[in-house]
């Protein structure tokens, strides 16, 4: 990396050296707020590498503080790897700077420890001349091969043409007036040795999905698939993960050990993934927490059953399931898929998620001549459904030019687009704090669209997007909260033009914009969106092809005479009680299996598949 800093003395500004004499000093008081007239703010800082993309949220939009110290989790790297940093920033772009205190002396040396910056006098840290100095695009940088495993301080700064790690003090163009930011975090360097693994389970057991024991030693930075085996009447509620270097000597207020909790949607039917970025350090301790009550997926409380899903729990480095669940969309001229390819590295599994990517064509496949290559998956020919509830948990790593989406198209597209219909469950395109939800159909001669408009969102964390689809309405959800609804009787559509009454399939993709709604892609950026899972639920009687179904067989049973007769209307009886085939009472059948429902002096067999 080029390290010439032609404007160093000027860019540091008066008084900066004395202010920086304190450990990790600033040129302003830590409680100083930035101005608010320009509407600029930092929303998150990220680092991408072998451990995936790690993101820490920065609350500057609400507290307006110049400085934040976020030690809730570290950024994880390995010696010798190439990593890329990014900053989610609202408002007109400025310049971005990243520093690492490699020698752990409590200072960021701007000559040797400014590891990446987007602009200094029209040149970035890679020595490249900027076409525009108004840029946040940070070049990649390398972690030294000889660096010792342990913890280091890393600093992210938004400023204007200033290499000073304490913030520009230039009169009329300082970091306060420009509404910049300074954020410190921990960089944890992981060694290549295996990590000792300990499980503290007071109740139940924690094993691998095949029910074999989790080994006592695992490779560093490798995710761990787990299955909880709770006691009868319990479920796995969460797992506390403790990791890092708890015995390491640290200075200047840094910390060396962390905790992470796997919970909520990350645990599905008592199974899930310990993230790879927590499997590092000297020891990893897993403490499962079991709670009373059988596991019930929240959506099943409304009578829905899981009929199709991809949890993306295949081994790291493999592709998404292109046999049973997905296929590659065909390339056409539409913006979203003009660069779609079938390269597996654009839809790769990591840490229990599929990472869909878009990047400049690197020439790895000579048959692909497009300037970009992008990843996309669709369930067409593998799975479709009519009516139900679908949701996906995903992490959008927003950078200007990105164009990812989670959406549905009908199997029958003979009417042509958009007259055939389209349901956009989620799109990100025109800003780091904007979420879009749209439908398309035959509502005027050229086709029409109805949109939620831009809804406020923070892309600094994973989000669950959902859609409930019934014969009468479409309703969108974000993290379980209803955010938009379109009814069949909508006056712009008209019931005769309601095209959402036939089989649809699912698409997920990471594309780039064309300079219109979504801006042009930046060749220096690898665009990514991580999907943790995609699930579809249906109620009894709703149709699908390629998914699971559950059936209910009703019959009369005279308990004394043991005579069975088909009697469909039995499902209308009141006050049922349930038992499993072991004779144990069950409050409400939820898991796959066979149950007996008794009503008055009769019974029916329920088979959940």
Query: How confident is the model over 485-499, as pLDDT tens digits?
Result: 999 999 888 888 999
Share above pLDDT 70 across residues of the chain, in percent, rounded to a whole number:
88
pLDDT tens-digit map of 154-199: 999 999 999 999 999 999 999 999 999 999 999 999 988 899 999 9
DSSP state of 328: P
Domain ranges, ordered by start, for the chain: 8-189, 195-294, 302-358+373-454+489-511+526-538, 551-608
> Is-contact 439 450, C-beta < 8 A?
yes
Neighbours of 450 (CB within 10 A): 16
**Residue 534: CA count within 13 A, CB half-sphere:** 25
Q: pLDDT digits over 277-325, tens only?
A: 899 988 899 999 999 988 878 788 788 999 999 999 888 899 999 999 9
Residues in the chain: 609
| Percent of the chain surpassing pLDDT 90 | 63
Model confidence at 18, pLDDT cuts 50, 70, 90, reads very low
532 contact partners, CB below 8 Å, separation of at least 6? 265, 266, 311, 312, 352, 353, 392, 393, 394, 395, 462
* 3-state SS string for 505-521: EEEEEEEEECCCCCCEC
pLDDT at 557 over 80: no
Assigned fold of 8-189: Coagulation Factor XIII; Chain A, domain 1 (2.70.50)
Question: What's the rounded mean pLDDT across residues 322-345?
Answer: 88
389 and 359 Cβ atoms separated by less than 8 Å: no
Q: Does 302-358+373-454+489-511+526-538 match 8-189 at the fold level?
A: no
pLDDT at 41 over 80: yes
Instruction: Report the largest interatomic distance among the alpha carbons of the chain, rounded to a whole angstrom.
Output: 98
Mean pLDDT of the chain: 87
* DSSP count for the chain of H helices, then E strands: 3, 42
Torsion-angle region of 17 (φ positive above 0: left; ψ -120 to 50: alpha; else: beta): alpha
pLDDT of residue 604: 66
Nearest residue to 150 (alpha-carbon basis) of 290, 24, 254: 254
Region 252-271 average pLDDT: 92
Residue 313 token pair:
């729990």
CA atoms within 13 A on the CB side of 533: 20
Each residue of 416-473: pLDDT tens digit? 999 999 999 999 988 888 899 999 999 887 788 999 999 998 888 889 999 999 999 9
Q: What is the mean pLDDT of residues 378-394?
A: 96
**Better-scored residue on pLDDT, 598 or 272:** 272
Yes or no: domain 302-358+373-454+489-511+526-538 corresponds to CATH 3.90.25.10: no
- The burial class, CB within 10 Å (0-12 / 13-18 / 19+), for 331 is middle
* Tokens coding 227: 């299955």
pTM: 0.74
The H-assigned helical ranges of 49-130 are: 60-63
């Amino acid at each position: 990396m080029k390290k010439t800093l032609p404007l160093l003395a000027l860019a540091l500004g008066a008084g900066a050296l004395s202010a920086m004499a304190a450990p990790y000093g600033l040129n302003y008081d830590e409680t100083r707020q930035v101005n608010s007239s320009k509407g600029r703010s930092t929303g998150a800082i990220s680092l991408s590498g072998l451990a995936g993309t790690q993101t820490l949220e920065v609350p500057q939009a609400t507290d307006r503080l110049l400085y934040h110290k976020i030690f809730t989790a570290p950024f994880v790297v390995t010696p010798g790897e190439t990593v890329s940093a990014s900053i989610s920033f609202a408002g007109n772009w400025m310049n971005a700077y990243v520093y690492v205190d490699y020698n752990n002396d409590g200072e960021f040396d701007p000559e040797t420890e400014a590891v990446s910056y987007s602009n200094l006098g029209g040149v970035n840290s890679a020595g490249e001349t900027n076409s525009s100095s108004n840029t946040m695009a940070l070049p990649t940088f390398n972690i030294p091969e000889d660096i010792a495993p342990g913890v280091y301080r890393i600093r992210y700064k938004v400023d204007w043409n200033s290499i000073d790690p304490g913030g520009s003090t230039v009169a009329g163009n300082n970091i306060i007036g420009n509404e910049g930011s300074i954020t410190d975090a921990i960089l944890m360097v992981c060694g290549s040795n295996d990590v000792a693994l300990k499980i503290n389970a007071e109740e139940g057991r924690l094993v691998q999905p095949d029910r074999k024991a989790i080994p006592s030693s695992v490779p560093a930075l490798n995710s761990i698939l787990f299955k909880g085996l709770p006691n009868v009447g319990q479920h796995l509620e969460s797992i506390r993960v403790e990791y890092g270097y708890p015995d390491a000597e640290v200075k200047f207020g840094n910390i060396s050990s962390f905790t992470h909790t796997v919970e909520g949607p990350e645990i599905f039917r008592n199974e899930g993934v310990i993230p790879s970025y927590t499997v590092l350090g000297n020891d990893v301790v897993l403490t499962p927490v079991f709670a009373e009550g059988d596991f019930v997926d929240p959506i099943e409380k409304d009578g829905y059953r899981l009929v199709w899903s991809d949890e993306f729990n295949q081994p790291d480095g493999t592709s998404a399931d292109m046999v049973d669940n997905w296929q590659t969309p065909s390339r056409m001229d539409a913006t979203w898929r003009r660069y779609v390819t079938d390269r597996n590295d654009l839809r790769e599994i990591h840490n229990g998620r599929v990472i869909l990517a878009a990047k400049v064509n690197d020439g790895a496949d000579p048959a692909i001549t497009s300037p970009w290559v992008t990843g996309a998956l669709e369930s067409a020919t593998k799975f479709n459904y009519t009516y139900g509830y679908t949701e996906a948990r995903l992490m959008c790593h927003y950078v200007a030019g990105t164009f990812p989406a989670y959406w549905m198209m009908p199997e029958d597209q003979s009417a042509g687009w958009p007259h055939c219909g389209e349901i956009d469950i989620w799109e990100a395109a025109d800003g780091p704090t904007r979420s879009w939800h749209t439908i398309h159909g035959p509502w005027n001669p050229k086709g029409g669209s109805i949109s939620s408009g831009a809804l406020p969102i923070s892309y600094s964390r994973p989000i669950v997007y959902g859609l409930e689809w019934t014969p009468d309405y479409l309703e969108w959800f974000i993290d379980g909260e209803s955010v938009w609804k379109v009814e069949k009787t909508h006056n712009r559509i008209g019931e005769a033009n309601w095209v959402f009454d036939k089989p649809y399939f699912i698409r997920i993709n990471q594309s780039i914009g064309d300079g219109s709604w979504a801006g042009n892609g930046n060749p220096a950026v690898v665009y990514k969106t991580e999907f943790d899972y995609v699930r579809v639920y249906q109620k009894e009687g709703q149709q699908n092809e390629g998914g699971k179904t559950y059936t209910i067989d009703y019959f009369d049973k005279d308990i004394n005479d043991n005579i069975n007769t088909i009697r469909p209307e039995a499902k209308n009886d009141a006050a049922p009680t349930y038992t499993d085939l072991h004779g144990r009472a069950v409050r409400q059948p939820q898991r796959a299996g066979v149950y007996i429902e008794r009503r008055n002096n009769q019974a029916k067999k329920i088979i959940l598949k």
